[in-house]
Structure 1
Amino acid sequence: MTPEHIGSLAAVLDLVRTGTARTRPEIGRLSGLGRTVVTQRVNQLTELGLLEEGALGPSSGGRAPRELRFRARAGVVLAAELGATSIGVGVTDLAGYVLAEHEEPADIGVGPEQVLSRVEELFDELLAGVRAEQDERLGVWGVGIGLPGPVEFATGRPSAPPIMPGWDGYPVRDRLAARFDAPVWVDNEVNTMALGELRAGSARGQRDILYVKIGTGIGAGLVSGGRLHRGSQGCAGDIGHAAVADEAEVVCRCGNTGCLEAYAGGAALARDGTEAAQEGRSKILADVLTRTGTITAADVSHAAQRGDRAAVELLMRAGRLIGSLLATLVSFYNPALVIIGGGVAGAGDLLLAAVRESVYRRSLPLATRELRITRSTLSDRAGLVGAAFMVIDELFAAERLAHWVGSGSPAGAPGLVAIPLRTPVV
């Protein structure tokens, strides 16, 4: 197929796949393609099993047009979000709808062999269940993974991740591509979370957003002009290791001092909550420490919600520190929407209120005039859904579509990831 042919084929498929157009007349109007070309491309995509005829659409005066549907169940995507303390895996259809999912506690620090072996086991279990319910012939079209550390997107390898001992340079993509015989994309989990919100969450329809994950660590995903901004090597948005203090005694897990994560992340809240319990400044946390032997960020949150003064102060301080840094980003980047997600973000209104106060007080008035700061609507699912959409967007880019559309499926073609794109897809 010529570049013009594949370009028009991809355009027609994208319009139907994203729900932007449902009939041939709508495709022609939105794409600028002639009626004959639209008919040819629709027929070709139908023969390849990517589109199918649906019900009759509304009539504009003549014969009612037949609606078109994307065959989202033609294949599946395996998606996983690996956090510092948990694993979330799922199987989605080609429209990003989650067909099966599972989450369990896990320690990313035990290393890639143990963690990825468990991910593979869970993928196998979920995939077997989906195939048993729907179609035993369902092929794996791609695999998407989000990791809690810097990832070189071009190679799919972690790069000196502070909380992931043993993962530096590990060939995550190569391992999973060989295991499932499918193209694999790997990214930082905050980027997949931002993409999940953009495609299926509270950021749908937005073009300039900032997603901030406040969990064990802190990170940000940036969407500019409707596209995910990864930076030249893939580490854009790593705000958790921006310096917010000059105190040398608080050492971050990355080895530096003064990092935002070391003062306001989940591990920092647990550390400071433990100190408050031991010093007698918080009876509630002291009782938790006596009963369980440990304090978590969730314990600090629960104590604050019960009115514990020390816990309230810890959350407010974390919110102010995060908000002060975000104020700089808001003035510099001027997003329309800031989304706060991650485990610590679910700590009630105190943290969010402190973040908002700092951002609105310290940012430029023009930057905050129409700015919204809100919680994630996808919550724990954002990274999983985003990992699936990362794969879907990459697979249906025109340059890659040209290499697999003739066979009707990219399953069995892990080398697709190496095909360069003229323009990033997200």
Structure 2
Amino acid sequence: MTQTVLAVDLGGTKILVGEVTREGTILSSRRYPSNVNDMRTAAEKIKEAIRDYLSQQVIKGKLIGIGVCVVGRVETTTGKWFEIRPGLSEPMNLAEELTTEFQLPCWLTNDVSGAALAEQMLGKGRETDNFVYINIGTGIAGRVVTDGQLIIGGNCNAGEVGHMVVDMNSEDRCLCGRVGCVELFASGLGMHNQAVKFAVDYPDTCLDINSLERVSFYELIQAYDENDQLAKKVVNQALKAAAALTMNLVRVSDPEAVVFGGGVMNNGWFLEHLVTFLNEKTIRFVTKGISVTELDPNVVALKGTAALVFIKQKGDRKHA
């Protein structure tokens, strides 16, 4: 019988549970509501989702373990979940709790780490052991894979690249306490905030700044292509910031490839324009390309956390 993993992806509004093969094929999946107001509530929601899935869904393979990806800081080697975000912390050994309840070995990882691991095992990682993964969505985060090893860091916090400063002259202060972080300019939320900030200077903009709804990235690029000056200011600022981030990471980690994920990158428009801001000398060794991931963003974390379980069960320390 085919070996499979019960993979769980905890998001802000949903929990996705699925049965996944070693090759990354999702045999079945179900969505459940999540609650990330606090860590204990989120953990209980994960348990409820798994219980329901196992009772309602026909398991098609032989489950060898459970893989869970969550938002926040995670220590995969011990299964500890430290925090959803700074200031919202209730440390627990979630992997141990799930192992005890469901009698299957469980491993835990961060959602961006899961996406990077999926890229490593199923995407660009099949071409190179050295790449950078950058996720640009509502926020910005990334991971570096060097010599086939995902960089974790001493406090399991490596890859928080959204807080890399790209504008030393900025007066915009980030939630992290610094000013000029790339997330302030190039994330989906950051671009919305910049549009609101500069709207007073562009009274003729076609963007609906006064709406209670966030100005979406797709609204911004549509206005950009229609030569709306507010949109061009905000988006060009974002492109320059994201390009600076990319080149900084290239200089630090010497990758052969850079892979982008996240909602801002989905249709390729942002990358097509971003590459025009890259310095040729800086990226001359990125010989495997700068690209948007070919993996489905809706299930990439699910596939990544399943891959983690297969790796751990195999005892492959190189990819752990």
Q: Same fold (TM over 0.5)?
A: yes
Deviation at 1:213, TM superposition (A): 0.5
CA distance in 1, matches of 2:238, 2:34: 25
Identity %: 25
**Distance 1:270-1:339 versus aligned 2 partners, 3 A rule:** same
Deviation at 1:244, TM superposition (A): 2.2
User: What is the match of residue 112 of structure 1?
Assistant: 39
User: What is the match of residue 68 of structure 2?
Assistant: 145
Matched letter for residue 307 of structure 2: F
> SS of the residue aligned with 1:167?
coil
User: What is the match of residue 154 of structure 1?
Assistant: 77
Which of the numbers 116, 123, 126 marks the counterpart of 2:53? Answer: 126
**Distance 1:301-1:124 versus aligned 2 partners, 3 A rule:** farther
> SS of the residue aligned with 2:58?
helix
The alignment status of 1:259 with 2:186, answered yes or no, reads no
Deviation at 1:343, TM superposition (A): 1.3
User: What is the match of residue 80 of structure 1?
Assistant: 8
Matched letter for residue 111 of structure 1: D
- Answer yes or no: is the 8 Å Cα contact 1:219–1:239 preserved in 2: yes
> SS of the residue aligned with 2:17?
strand
Deviation at 1:326, TM superposition (A): 1.6
1:197-233, Cα deviation, whole Å (9 max, x unpaired): 1222244232211111111221112222233232344
User: What is the match of residue 314 of structure 1?
Assistant: 234
Q: Which has the higher contact order (CA 8 A, sep 6+)?
A: 2
CA distance in 2, matches of 1:122, 1:285: 40
1:330-372, Cα deviation, whole Å (9 max, x unpaired): 13322121110011212641x213432333346153x24x241
Question: Please, what is the CA RMSD of the aligned residues?
Answer: 3.0
CA distance in 2, matches of 1:169, 1:298: 38
Deviation at 1:120, TM superposition (A): 2.9
User: What is the match of residue 330 of structure 1?
Assistant: 250
Which of the numbers 127, 130, 133 marks the counterpart of 1:208? Answer: 130
User: What is the match of residue 379 of structure 1?
Assistant: 296
User: What is the match of residue 250 of structure 1?
Assistant: 172
- Answer yes or no: is the 8 Å Cα contact 2:14–2:32 preserved in 1: yes
Deviation at 1:395, TM superposition (A): 0.8
CA distance in 2, matches of 1:125, 1:359: 48
Q: Give the number of the structure whose alpha-carbon radius of gyration is greater.
A: 1
**Distance 1:355-1:149 versus aligned 2 partners, 3 A rule:** farther
Question: Which stretches in structure 1 are left out of the alignment for 5+ residues?
Answer: 1-70, 399-422
Matched letter for residue 112 of structure 1: M
Deviation at 1:170, TM superposition (A): 3.4
- Answer yes or no: is the 8 Å Cα contact 2:134–2:259 preserved in 1: yes
Matched letter for residue 310 of structure 1: L
- Answer yes or no: is the 8 Å Cα contact 2:76–2:109 preserved in 1: yes
The alignment status of 1:390 with 2:308, answered yes or no, reads yes
> SS of the residue aligned with 2:68?
strand
Deviation at 1:392, TM superposition (A): 0.8
Residues 56-71 of structure 1 mapped to structure 2, 5 A cutoff: 71=1
CA distance in 2, matches of 1:204, 1:194: 12
Residues 330-349 of structure 1 mapped to structure 2, 5 A cutoff: 330-346=250-266, 348-349=268-269
User: What is the match of residue 98 of structure 1?
Assistant: 26
User: What is the match of residue 227 of structure 1?
Assistant: 149
**Distance 1:247-1:331 versus aligned 2 partners, 3 A rule:** closer
The alignment status of 1:353 with 2:281, answered yes or no, reads no
Deviation at 1:390, TM superposition (A): 0.6
Of stretches 145-154 and 380-389 in structure 1, the one that deviates more from structure 2 is 145-154
Equivalenced residues, count: 319
CA distance in 2, matches of 1:211, 1:158: 22
More helix by share: 1
- Answer yes or no: is the 8 Å Cα contact 2:148–2:319 preserved in 1: no
> SS of the residue aligned with 2:192?
helix
Of stretches 233-242 and 371-380 in structure 1, the one that deviates more from structure 2 is 233-242
Residues 22-41 of structure 1 mapped to structure 2, 5 A cutoff: none
Deviation at 1:127, TM superposition (A): 3.4
User: What is the match of residue 169 of structure 1?
Assistant: 91
- Answer yes or no: is the 8 Å Cα contact 2:202–2:230 preserved in 1: no
Residues 188-207 of structure 1 mapped to structure 2, 5 A cutoff: 188-207=110-129
- Answer yes or no: is the 8 Å Cα contact 1:81–1:384 preserved in 2: yes
Of stretches 183-192 and 229-238 in structure 1, the one that deviates more from structure 2 is 229-238
- Answer yes or no: is the 8 Å Cα contact 1:274–1:285 preserved in 2: no
CA distance in 2, matches of 1:297, 1:250: 20
CA distance in 2, matches of 1:85, 1:114: 13
> SS of the residue aligned with 2:141?
strand
Deviation at 1:125, TM superposition (A): 3.5
